[in-house]
Structure formats: C-alpha cells, structure tokens
Amino acid sequence: MTLDIDAAAAALLGARRSGTRLDALPEGARPGSEAEAYAVQDAVARALGPVAGWKVGAPSATATPARAALHADTIFETERLPASLFHVIGAEAEIAYRFGRDLPPEAGPYDRDAVLAAVATLHPAIEIADTRFATFGAVDAHSQRADQQNHGVLVLGPGLIEWRGLDPVTQRVRLTLDGQIRHDKVGGNSAVDPVRLLVWLANEGARSLGGIKAGQVVTTGSCTGTDFVTAPTRMTADFPGLGSVTLAIE
C-alpha cells in the first residue's frame, strides 16, 4: 500500500493548529519505514515554513542518528512560557550549536573539522519533549519520527563564542527541577559524541531540506534523559564553562 503522505501531514498539522490530539495517524497514512517517516516529517516542515534549526540524536555511539527540522515558532530565548503551549512537559538538558555559515549538500561531504569550522556559537539549551498524539510514546516509532521526533520547544541560553576549548563528551551538566537537583553528571548524551551527529546532519540528515544554513541552531540530544513534570514548574540546565538556561512554565 502506498503511504498517503499528504493525509499524514494534514493530520499532524491539524493537531498542531487546533490543539486536538491524535490517537494515531489515519489508516493508510502511517509510515512503515524511516524513509516514509522522514517524507511525512519533511512535508510538515515545508508547510510550517523556513527551517530555523534541527534536533538530532542517536541512542548509542554507533547508531544511525535521527533528526527533525525545527521552526522559529518553537525556538525561544526566554525564561518563561505558558503551560498552554504543551500537552506534556518532558524536560531535557542539551547542548546546541548555532551555525555561522551554510553547509550546502552539494559542497560536501564534510568532515568533522569542516563542520565545526562553520559553527559560530555554542549554547546551553532546554528541549521540552511533547507530542501531537493523545499519549506520549504510545504510537509506533515511525509515527513519532514523523511527528518531529517528539519535539515541543527549544529554549536557548546565551551563546558562547569562545567554545572550542569545551569537550561535550566530558562536559558536566546539572539539571534542576523546581529547586531540586535531578541530574548531576559528566557527558550523559546517549550518542556520546554530539559532533558525530552534526557531521551526519550536514552530510545526510539535512539534505532533503536544503542542508544546514547560517543562523540555524542544532540541538544534539539530551544529556539527562527526559523528566516529565507538570506546570507550574521551573527548570535550570547548567553546563559549567558553557553557561546555563532557566525556563519557567506557568
């Protein structure tokens, strides 16, 4: 059966615009492979407008990464957001890279040095995991991938220009939720090395949507796992040497 990409995209876009949650994607519109999931994800991304950033992650140091395009309406530099934006609130402390120049697919392939040379600033970040489905994690993995890989919002802390002395693999991170330290560790990213994710994104992951472009920010996966909380809530992700970011959801 041929996947109805338009129907899948329409369902996800409708859920975003109305706030109504889906039990599942419609019959005939449920992706059955990674390629189909990305086709739906890309259709949604094109409907939402210019790509302002990306999320990328991997479950292990050797696993193939996964990505989702992000848009300006879910990327913030603020300390406060309304609870009405969210269905669920999954707090994640992350490291994000803002690019200072384009990495067009046709000019690749890019090695690690070339990708890092295009990075302008490094940011402490909080991503809130959320879903367009009625129950977080209840649908199949391909449907979750199609749904922007469970992205809610990305909140960025101040950018660090002199970041090259920082090693994300040995970077300490502390996540505080409502005044209680929930995580305090070194590293913590399931992909181990976030830069491998950036290289994959530049060479493969971002290709179908025009590659990584100047001004886009790429967040590279949780260093703390996902902690589900309820509003009102206040969280701080602190990366010594890189900086911190605080978000209150009320």
Higher pLDDT, 1 or 146: 146
Eight-class DSSP state of 132: S
* pLDDT on residue 62: 97
34-74: pLDDT as tens digits: 999 999 999 999 999 999 999 999 999 999 999 999 999 99
Instruction: Count Cβ atoms below 10 Å from residue 77 Cβ, excluding itself.
Output: 12
* pLDDT on residue 100: 98
Length of the chain: 250
> What is the C-alpha separation between 111 and 172, in angstroms, rounded?
26
71-113: pLDDT as tens digits: 999 999 999 999 999 999 999 999 999 999 999 999 999 999 9
* pLDDT on residue 183: 98
What are the start-end ranges of the E strands in the chain? 53-57, 66-70, 75-76, 80-81, 89-99, 119-129, 151-156, 172-177, 180-186, 217-222, 227-229, 233-239, 243-249
